[in-house]
Chain A
Amino acid sequence: MSSADILTCVDLAIGHGSHVIMDRLNLSLPAGKILAIVGPSGCGKSTLMRALGGLDAPLGGTTTLMGVDLNSAEGVRRQDILRQTGFLFQGSALFSSLTLRENIEMPMREFLKAPRQEIRQLAEYKLALVGLADAMDKLPSEISGGMAKRAGIARAMALDPTVIFLDEPSAGLDPVSSGRLDELILRLRDAFGTTVVLVSHEIPSILRTADFCVYLDPDTGTMGAYGPPKSFLQAGQPPKVHAFFSQAHFD
């Protein structure tokens, strides 16, 4: 762990209620890097992401985000850190009574002092970035699941977050759109130095975008490997990790 690390966890235990599903999780992520969380279904990928983002309290150990332990931080300090993060949830979690534009404008109105016209301009730009310039005035119920995912990403990017958490961003997208999304994530990182943490099953996408990857092993209840994703394809990795990546990459 170094001072340049924007996100760390030490001996982290996560789970539901008092039931621990993963423990002894240790990782650190430098700023401006992309971390992918992978593993079999139900192994706790989304739970780990929520704990790293400070949405759920861990069952043990500590996590820090931008140098702050969110579980002990309270009030304005906690609010200030959370304001610098953006979340895309698995089901997109768009506000169903608001149009896509209003969904993106909502956090801007809450936190920015910019005039209405500039907020509108920003929201239109963010939606255009994810290819939804023509669907701004639609309600979430009027768009497809893939479009809702992208609108969710636009909302997560609304306040130019320092760290962005994406839960299965490519789910529901066709391969071409998925490729465009990878490009968007890389450009955001390159342009603004945004740190990205994403949960994904798309191994080719992870190989394209991620700098680091953590594999969660449900059999041992802890991380099976942590490192650059391309290294997982090489010999010398734990057989289970190598098999998971090779099979998925082959598929």
Chain B
Amino acid sequence: MSHAPTGLPFARTDVLADGTAVVTIGGAWNLDSALPAIAIKGDRVKVVAEELTDFDSSLPAWLYAHFKNIRQLDLTALPARLQSLVQMAEKATFSDTHAHDTGFLEHFGTWGVESGSSWGRALEHIGHTTLGFLRMLVGRAKVNWADFKLELQTAGVDALPIVALLGFLTGLIMAYVGLIQLRLVGATVYVANLVSLAMTREMGALMTGIIACGRTSTAYASQLGSMNVSQETDALRALGINPIEYLAVPRILAVTLMVPLLAVFATFIGIFGGMVVACAGDLSIEQYLTQAVRAITFKSFLVGLIKSVAFGFIAAWAGCYRGSVAKRSALGVGEAATSAAVLGITFIVISDALFAVIFNLFDL
């Protein structure tokens, strides 16, 4: 029981002989005031007003919160407008509201099913993308070629500065670390072999793939996710146009073509980065270049090229896939962009490991 004079909101409970709890409310109730706390026992309650000077929605909200589960609630002693505000909340039923409580087991089951279905959706998207490419090859797909040209520019040419910077630094770091070790055995000349081989077979493609994930994949997830939110993809479907063919195929094609070119560029820039460190110390430019040219074989170059094609496809596909299944909200678009980068990088590293095994089997 609580009671406060001078207009502050109060509520007190008295229990009658027949077990009915009588709750007396009074004072001035407003949104900024601290509201009283009461404990109710039993399922028969009568609410009466005493010196109730003023109220806003804080009072009906308080009554609704405390008495919504009481079976026999008597509000007849309250002012009519207050009664109607409480009863309205209790009785408000609109035809499109569905009451459905989910328990822990249902949550767990839903999580399990959704996890499984998200992999299913990913596989389905890969299948549709493949079909889209096949239909494009036979000229039956409606592909947005304007997007394709634009993406060659944005995913390819516009990425040159960042690819150059990261490629240069990668080569530089490898040469620096390599020199420290090779100097111990007097074989510093082989730093050129180390850098050029690593950049050609591995690092050129890998770094470019990761840059594509961070830069292009997230952009595609945001673009397609926003189109999902504004129902643009639904509009395409309604027009009889497959969104994967129209939106995803040109993007994936553009990135799959541009990433190998960027990877070759990154490889040469990386070798140059290694040369800067090597020639600042133990080697001459001629020595470094001679060793580098000897180390790079056609097979190594081919390995790097195959990887970069796969990495480009994965980066673009991850962005298009996550964008196409993004939830229809600002949060959903953000989640899609994040998960596109994570999915892309994870798949690139996994596929790189698989390539290592496969190329080893084929002695490449």
Contacts and interface: CB of A to CB of B under 8 A. Distances in A.
Interface of A: 95-97, 108, 112-115, 118, 121-122, 124-126, 128-135, 139-141, 144, 146-147, 150, 157, 159-160, 173-174, 176-177, 180, 183-184, 187, 190-192
Contact of B332 (A124, A141, A160, A180): A141
Given A130-B94, A134-B97, A113 B89 contact: no
Contact of B31 (A122, A150, A173, A183): A122
B96 A174 contact: yes
A121 B62 contact: yes
A141 B56 contact: no
Nearest to B79: A191
Contact of B57 (A130, A147, A157): A157
Contacts of A121: 61-62, 64-65
A125 B60 contact: yes
Contacts of B32: 112-114
Contacts, number: 115
B57 A126 contact: yes
Nearest to A159: B31
B328 interface: yes
Contact of A115 (B34, B90, B92): B34
A58 to B, nearest CB: 30
Interface stretch (B80-88, B151-159, B212-220, B316-324): B80-88
The 9 A-B residue pairs with the shortest CB-CB distance in the complex, in nearest-first order: A96-B329, A125-B61, A97-B331, A128-B89, A131-B92, A131-B94, A134-B99, A121-B65, A177-B94
A125 B92 contact: no
Given A114-B31, A180-B92, 15 more contacts: A96-B330, A96-B331, A97-B331, A121-B65, A132-B94, A133-B92, A139-B327, A141-B329, A141-B332, A144-B96, A147-B97, A160-B56, A191-B81, A191-B82, A191-B85
Specify which of A115, A118, A157, A180 lies most central, judged by the most chain B CB atoms within 10 Å of its CB: A118
Interface string B320-358: 000000011111100000000000000000000000000
B95 interface: yes
B144 interface: no
A176 B88 CA distance: 15
Given A114-B31, A118-B58, A184-B88, A132 B329 contact: no
12 contacts: A96-B328, A114-B58, A115-B34, A121-B65, A125-B61, A130-B94, A131-B93, A133-B89, A134-B99, A146-B96, A177-B96, A187-B84
A160 B68 CA distance: 21
A208 to B, nearest CB: 16
Nearest to A129: B89
Interface of B: 31-35, 56-58, 60-62, 64-65, 68, 81-82, 84-85, 88-90, 92-100, 327-332
A95 B332 CA distance: 12
A180 B94 contact: yes
Specify which of A125, A159, A183 lies most central, judged by the most chain B CB atoms within 10 Å of its CB: A125
Contacts of A183: 88
A143 to B, nearest CB: 8
B95 A132 contact: no
B89 A125 contact: yes
Contact of B61 (A122, A134, A174): A122
A8 B99 CA distance: 43
Contacts of B100: 134
Contacts of B89: 125, 128-129, 133
A144 B331 CA distance: 18
Given A134-B98, A144-B96, A159-B31, A187 B85 contact: yes
A125 B89 CA distance: 7
Specify which of B81, B92, B99 lies most central, judged by the most chain A CB atoms within 10 Å of its CB: B92
Given A121-B61, A125-B61, A141-B329, A135 B97 contact: yes
Nearest to B61: A125
A139 to B, nearest CB: 6
A163 to B, nearest CB: 15
Contacts of B58: 114, 118, 122
A88 to B, nearest CB: 15
A20 B94 CA distance: 40
A128 B68 CA distance: 11
Nearest to A147: B96
